[in-house]
Structure 1
């Protein structure tokens, strides 16, 4: 028995180590690929790209357990690649629960993919059954990375933070700002008082739902796809009072309508496609695009196939061209969904390829400046307190 234990214990420890180290790496490599090799870029695009202030509305990079201060050979985003891609601001949106066999048509909340991923990454026990605690844990990781970054990563919590950061970055582009968001109000664990606590933890953006309906509002991919609930109306009021950004990515048509009816501030759709170039249940109709932007909202165009019906930067540019012609370039933004369990044609370091594609699509330099970041930076300076 003692010999068996002597042999068995090291084996168990080895297998455990492999589970905690290998499984998350393998999962991310498979789920977050870069789908195209580097493409040639014109000198005009390179020169313009260096002058841009770039902002992206959506990346799920905190989910995968990587140290974002180190350049990785997998996934789409880390601080070195953001700096190489000349990104000024990246919104890091935490994911707390997704359903098994996730799809864009019908999902319920009875299953949970994130539990196993959290176990594999060694998340604290308190995150096992609390989506609120999963949010706090991922936020804490970003705060620690910012503190250890020697100024390379700066977290934005209020308008003055952003103004100060942009002034400093104009002199030193080797730094990037991060802003925290949450994908789905199920992260509140059913308790609206947690909204204030999440705000205190640095979160400044939240959507009512993700891939399933919540007690706040319906999802475009949920079972019922209803509108804002009574609780959701109170959530909206509190979000606006706090100066938090309301994100309608994944929201049902009824929820979009209800938010637009009751909101007093412009909203964003952080990562989406448009039916005009890619007609599926995930994407926004022309009527929705007009209604959202009529109230000053932003449309973040995604980089993945379901959003743009293609796997190249030209497909992204095509969706942006369609949206800009419909509602104006001043309402179009980047909504990559990097590290969101999707393949994208470029990672953060290769954003110049998108700048080149926008030039080829006929956008003016001023329109490209708007789309690549100025629209988001201006919006945040209006909405954040």
Structure 2
């Protein structure tokens, strides 16, 4: 690990590791996090880990709420099981945890299938510690359309989805725009009043895929004071034929050119091990899965981004912003901080 990376605060805005923890729990390996992920996080210098709760297709209707709460509970028990980690509800909690040398865990929902069409449940999620939420995955929910259905439908946020957005801002839950379809992104950028995140996205101008964001969308996020986490570990988002560290930094450079260095973070989406261990390979409905292996497969590879940015002449202060400083600014301003007013 480089000295610069070692001294920086490193925030990963998206790692689905709780899915693998749950998978191995049911196979008698209840210390899988300690055996595999904890060493990886330490090797990558990760100080802040956002843990999204993703709901597999078989649970997305009747079983979504139960499955979500079980995984949220597993994250809380994870922190009890490993005192090197702690669940954080505010930016101040994160600062205290990292100052004490612990890994700050932030609970997120990816797709928010558990809410169904009941906006009141976002308050329930806030009570159990959820602090980052997206309203759709690849497909359609009762709150919004995901980007995977943009070719066949182009729905924005439903009335309930708009209500959830407003309530999230009131409560101090950070909105995650990743996975949202084009019309939904427009709705959020029109109605949002607080900084938000794209936890794991990249630049459509660099790699043209529906999951990436256009320059106009990137600028809209930055104009709100928001931050885009670069999905560095996902080959089709970075470059299907050449998913290298260099191409990841190409996306970072493009982001800096169309927004500013203050709008960039890391959301690698280290999910390759999940697909390999659970499914025997990548299976993503609606996406071509023929791509090269990423050079960034696990958290221990993160220092390579720091090295590449340094080699290209990024100032140390800017590299530290990308590694974690920018994400922390959003957490400090929004996470667990209720809005006192909401201007029209």
Matched, 1:62 2:18: yes
CA distance in 1, matches of 2:124, 2:266: 28
* 2:289 paired residue number: none
Matched, 1:86 2:45: yes
Residues 156-305 of structure 1 aligned to structure 2 (within 5 Å): 156-169=88-101, 175-222=102-149, 223-303=152-232, 304-305=234-235
Matched, 1:377 2:328: yes
Q: TM-score, normalised by structure 2?
A: 0.84
**How big is each residue's C-alpha offset from its partner over 1:63-89, in whole Å with a ceiling of 9 and x where there is no partner?**
1224453232xxxxx122112211110
- Shifted more, 265-274 versus 306-315: the winner is 306-315
Q: Decide which of 307, 312, 334 is 1:356's aligned counterpart.
A: 307
Change (3 A) 1:246 1:178: same
Matched, 1:366 2:293: no
Q: TM-score, normalised by structure 1?
A: 0.75
How far residue 167 of structure 1 moved from its aligned partner, in angstroms, is: 2.7
Change (3 A) 1:236 1:128: closer
Residues 104-115 of structure 1 aligned to structure 2 (within 5 Å): 112=57, 114-115=58-59
The question of whether the paired residues in 2 share the 8 Å contact of 1:329 and 1:371 is answered with yes
* 1:53 paired residue number: 9
* 2:86 paired residue number: 154
The question of whether the paired residues in 2 share the 8 Å contact of 1:130 and 1:189 is answered with no
Q: SS at the partner of 2:33?
A: coil
How far residue 193 of structure 1 moved from its aligned partner, in angstroms, is: 2.2
Q: Decide which of 124, 129, 150 is 2:62's aligned counterpart.
A: 129
CA distance in 2, matches of 1:299, 1:212: 21
Change (3 A) 1:381 1:58: same
Higher Cα Rg, which structure = 1
CA distance in 1, matches of 2:32, 2:225: 33
Q: Decide which of 138, 150, 163 is 2:71's aligned counterpart.
A: 138
**How big is each residue's C-alpha offset from its partner over 1:9-43, in whole Å with a ceiling of 9 and x where there is no partner?**
xxxxxxxxxxxxxxxxxxxxxxxxxxxxxxxxxxx
Q: Decide which of 271, 288, 292 is 1:339's aligned counterpart.
A: 271
The question of whether the paired residues in 1 share the 8 Å contact of 2:91 and 2:332 is answered with yes
Structure 1 unaligned residues grouped into runs of 5+: 1-44, 73-77, 98-111, 116-126, 170-174
Change (3 A) 1:189 1:215: closer
Q: SS at the partner of 2:118?
A: coil
The question of whether the paired residues in 2 share the 8 Å contact of 1:297 and 1:331 is answered with yes
Q: SS at the partner of 1:293?
A: helix
Structure 2 unaligned residues grouped into runs of 5+: 25-30, 276-281, 283-292, 338-344
Aligned length: 304
Q: SS at the partner of 1:321?
A: helix
How far residue 129 of structure 1 moved from its aligned partner, in angstroms, is: 3.2
Q: SS at the partner of 1:182?
A: strand
How far residue 353 of structure 1 moved from its aligned partner, in angstroms, is: 1.2
How far residue 274 of structure 1 moved from its aligned partner, in angstroms, is: 0.5
**How big is each residue's C-alpha offset from its partner over 1:190-232, in whole Å with a ceiling of 9 and x where there is no partner?**
3222211111221111111111122211211124221111111
CA distance in 1, matches of 2:81, 2:171: 28
The question of whether the paired residues in 1 share the 8 Å contact of 2:48 and 2:94 is answered with no
